[in-house]
Amino acid sequence: MTTLVWERSLRIDGVQRLQYPGHFTRRANELRLTKDVDKNRWDRSLPRSDRTARYPDALCTDAEGEAIVGLIFGEYAYLKTLRATARMIRTKLALSEEAYTKTDVRDFRHGSANHMAELSNDVAGIACLMRH
């Protein structure tokens, strides 16, 4: 889930509402965000990257290869994982103890936007992806 959130700058609350088959179908090259999932109430499709190509295919199939209908990711305690990761790498990031204990998903989302800006000069494209 974190790869999907990072690469597509999605909001956690929206990702937690993604369902199969409404937002995704197996072997599809895109993830469909509907008005009920997108904060700004836009219908849009997002291409899947090479890194996210296996997700959520693997999450929508049971051991026998049958489709699982319903939430793809569901609820996830992202904050605990995010802060634990920040604690582990805080010396590399030069974070104070106070800073990493206040880390939340907005920091992750903004970091994703900064990363995209370092790779591309397409500010309009990044703003569109971020829904700004």
Q: What is the mean pLDDT of residues 103-126?
A: 80
- Say what the pLDDT of residue 2 is: 67
The verdict on pTM exceeding 0.75 is: no
Closest CA to 52 of 68, 22, 29: 29
Q: Residue 20 carries which side chain, given as an amino acid letter?
A: Y
- Which of the two residues, 107 and 20, has the higher pLDDT score? 20
What is residue 70's three-state secondary structure? strand
Q: Which residues contact 113 (CB under 8 A, 6 or more apart)?
A: 9, 126, 130
- % of the chain at pLDDT higher than 70: 90
Residue 126 and residue 39: Cα distance in Å, rounded? 17
Q: Which residue has the tokens 């597509």?
A: 8
What is residue 48's three-state secondary structure? coil
Rg (CA), the chain: 16
- Say what the pLDDT of residue 40 is: 79
- % of the chain at pLDDT higher than 90: 1
What is the rounded average pLDDT for all residues in the chain? 78
Q: How many residues does the chain have?
A: 132
* pLDDT tens digit sequence for 22-80: 888 777 788 888 988 887 788 888 888 777 776 667 777 777 878 888 888 777 777 77
Residue 16 and residue 70: Cα distance in Å, rounded? 11
What is residue 57's three-state secondary structure? coil
